Structure 1
Amino acid sequence: MKRALLVIGVLLALVALALGAIVWSMNFGGPRIRDAAPTTPPSQDEAARGAYLARAGNCMLCHTERGGTPYAGGRPVETPFGTVYGSNLTPDADTGLGKWSAAHFRRALHEGRSRDGRLLYPVFPYTHFTRVTDADADALFAYLRSLPPVHKPNRENRLRWPYNLQGSLAIWRSLYFRPEQQQDDPSQTAEWNRGAYLVQGLGHCGACHTARDVLGGQRSSMDLSGGLIPMQNWYAPSLASPTEAGVADWKIEDIARLLSAGAAPRGAVLGPMAEVVLHSTQYLEPADVRAMATYLKSLPQVPTDTDPREVPRPGASVLERGGKLYADHCASCHGDNGQGVPGAYPTLAGNRVITLPVTANLVQVVLRGGFPPATAGQPRPFGMPPFALQFSDADVAAVLTYLRSSWGNKAPPVTELDVTQQRTTTRE
């Protein structure tokens, strides 16, 4: 018996050592980068190209504190595990990228490591940026080097134990991350492949449109089947579902308009996606927007698991209450029958946003308002005012239940608890 236990103990120890060796080699192995920081200024053409790529990646949004100097860092990013602060990307020698080389920067994007080899937290989406080409990484680095240096020390992250440990991060990476290179599909057109590169890599669309598990990991960075954005309580709908946000049956021109202007005949962007359009996609070249549209249109469509025949009928009192609230506060813009006003107020009848299985976005819009981005293609968009101070949680639940049960819409009721949870847990 003792001998058997000893053998089992030795085997377990060997397995633990083997796993430890794998984790170490994947996360801490590899040659050190000894390249010195460049001493000559970047070319204007390379920096200009990098500026465009930084727009495509929406880099400034996370690396700029509100009211702060662009790219000087300091913006807090809330996660379920604590707060991570955007780092200083200006070429300051002490607090920014002034001592970095192009090789250091490429490694950060491709492997998620800092200049000293320290593992970076995946709030920085290197799980997607790993697909960025060397040429694009070098252009991005050239642009950041061209910025005025700002001496601004990076704020210390506030992550709970054990998520603040490099060892824990190494285990996470072993489970969820492998460095990759973007591979063109020879069976597709150059336009499709360019769109795939922008969506899967630099645009990191899957960072929001993919569900995460309890450890913050994703099944695949190329999975666009929808997910709740942590801490923001906005739902990024599935781009591979005709009943959510799939665009397989849209015209290419309409998809491109949604990305560049923020509104199209069959939809408009709100919430986090409005920020993406505002700061990023509206500035992309028409060819790149069309490439993204081409790729998104090609995604295989998988309907969500909802059956209108099984939708419970809400109580008459809830519908009566919701209908009165709608008539008093909503019908003047959206119409008595939810028909909306073309180019101004969206149609609610037959609108798949209204019938999404996840009701987070609807509650957010009623409580906090809905504001499309101001873009060149839509310089003065119509917005929706917030009703958080006018409506109780029961009011919000009633009016949304009314919308989801009227004019041919068939979706489960919204409960008062759904609204209460949104009102109390959303981070500004």
Structure 2
Amino acid sequence: MRPSSFIAVVGILAVTSFLCGETAIRASESVAANDPALIARGEYLARAGDCIACHTAPEGKVFAGGRAMPTPFGTLYTSNITPDRDTGIGRWSADDFYRTMHEGRFPDGGLLYPAMPFASYTKVSRQDSDAIYAYLLRIEPVSQKNREHELQFPYNNRSLVLGWRTLFFTEGAFKPDTQKSDEWNRGAYLVEGLGHCGMCHTPINALGGNSEADAFKGGLIPMQDWYAPSLTSNKEAGLGTWSIQDITDLLQKGVSARGVVYGPMADVVYNSLQYLSDADIRAMAVYLKSIAQDSPKPVVSRLPHAESSLLVSLGKSVYESDCASCHGLRGEGKPPHYPPLAGNQSIQMDSAVNAIRMVLNGGYPPGTSGNPMPHGMPPFSVSLSDDEVAAVVSYIRTSWGNTGAPVSAAEANQLRAAPLQ
């Protein structure tokens, strides 16, 4: 055989092999996509990842994208992840989907903006990624083009994401801690990976990034004016002193004997956590309890002679008139529906944003299967002045042994215009 003929035969065999391999891959994906168990697992994992919260616009079709995501750099719009072949992910392979989750890149190599939590999703296993992909292929396709982002210059230059990735993104996989139990490692995988809890509960710097050293140390959520408290400090949302039952109740029901979730966290419980299994919720509770740290400091009020101050006197009057019927004269509450305020660490944090917002805007914990008829808190933004809001929040933060600092009328006024979330 002449060399040219040999090369031609080899070329034909290579192409044939490639095509057969591609066909085999597609066939394998087709089989996987029709596996009911895999699809059901994918639906569960998509819930764990709270995909619906971002990829479904208000009044929009499920997973069709188009949700506005305001950032300090402009507005991003989420993408269509339904299996529509022209506007969604219908032409993606399982490899394409995994690359997007794991590397933060589109199938063509384009860079995702980090509003997509690929820095957390990089820890998601290939098996779990494939299951989510199989589920998404089975949902109703929606023909809806992705909306162009509205970013300020120079942030509309997507190549700048390369610099962000260099500073803040490390591609990797979840690595179990061999010194910990399987349950602890499962909880860590869910919290650090699919649950992407660090997206809110880790402080974000001016470049929109965060440091691994500051993981779960809390911070203000940009553009939302809610404070995501530290999960590592028992002075904030650290759960080291909570029982596992109280933690699981909070995560799964939205209410517990120790507290209630409101604001963005209520959405997380409603869209995601209430659907997780008891075993997974318990695993998350075990992990979260373990990362909390004690902060042994003497309980001393930060407002000297609080009871005699004019600010707190006004606050006490407002509290007894508008708050005591639910939360008790001594802040003891009526758990689980009306949380205690005395000794409530979320009331005493350095940031008073959440306490002020609750007085101004009120709100409801999520309606869940474990708490289908939640009791809400009425808004007082119309009936109370800035001075009265500041006074009652100051009273709550400095009474019954609480050691928070008083707040000003200016702080209350600033948060009146905060977006309702």
- Counterparts of 1:208-287 in structure 2, within 5 Å, are 208-220=200-212, 223-287=215-279
* TM score, norm. by length of structure 1: 0.88
Q: Which residue of 1 aligns with 2:327?
A: 334
Say if 1:142 and 1:130 are closer, same or farther in 2 by CA, change over 3 A: same
CA deviations on 1:349-397 (whole Å, 9 max, x unpaired) are 2211211110110111111113111111111121101111112222211
- Tell me by how many angstroms 1:407 deviates: 1.6
The CA deviation string for residues 296-329 of structure 1, in whole angstroms up to 9 with x for no partner, is 1111515399984654556722222212211221
- C-alpha contact 1:312 1:412 (8 A) present in aligned 2: no
CA distance in 2, matches of 1:312, 1:152: 60
- Measured at CA, do residues 304 and 150 of structure 1 come closer, stay the same or move farther in structure 2, by a change above 3 Å? farther
Aligned to 1:396, which of 384, 389, 394? 389
- Distance of 1:308 and 1:175 partners within structure 2: 41
Name structure 2 gaps, 5 residues minimum. Answer: 1-20
1:261/1:378 contact within 8 Å kept: yes
Match of 1:5 in 2: none
For residues 64 and 193 of structure 1, the distance between their equivalents in structure 2, rounded to whole angstroms, comes to 30
- Supply the distance in 2 between the matched residues of 1:80 and 1:158 (Cα, whole angstroms): 11
Gaps of 5+ in 1: 1-33
Deviation at 1:225, TM superposition (A): 1.1
Q: CA deviation at 1:427?
A: 6.0
Q: 1:233 to 1:54 in 2, by over 3 A?
A: same
Distance 1:341 1:309 in 2: 24
1:196 equivalent to 2:188? Answer: yes
Q: 1:341 to 1:114 in 2, by over 3 A?
A: same
Distance, in Å, in 1 between the alignment partners of 2:155 and 2:230 is 29
Separation of aligned partners in 1, 2:399 and 2:111: 51
Instruction: Work out the CA distance in 2 between the residues paired with 1:79 and 1:308.
Output: 38
Q: Which moved more, 1:221-230 or 1:102-111?
A: 221-230
Among 294, 313, 320, the alignment partner of 1:320 is: 313
Residue number in structure 2 paired with 1:172: 164
Q: 1:85 to 1:302 in 2, by over 3 A?
A: farther
Of 71, 93, 98, the residue aligned with 1:101 is 93
Q: 1:104 to 1:390 in 2, by over 3 A?
A: same
The RMSD of aligned alpha carbons is: 2.1
- Aligned partner of 2:147 in structure 1 is 155
Q: How many residues align?
A: 395
* Alignment-mate amino acid for residue 335 of structure 1: G
| Corresponding residue to 2:363 among 346, 358, 370 | 370
Q: Say yes or no: does 1:205 pair with 2:185.
A: no
Q: 1:98 to 1:124 in 2, by over 3 A?
A: same
| Over 6 Å off, 4+ runs | 34-37, 304-307
Per the normalisation by structure 2, the TM-score is 0.89
Aligned sequence identity (%): 48
| 1:114 and 2:106 matched | yes
Partner of 1:53: 45
Residue of structure 2 equivalent to 1:85: 77
1:416 equivalenced with 2:409 (yes/no)? yes
Contact 2:301 2:398 (8 Å CA) reproduced? no
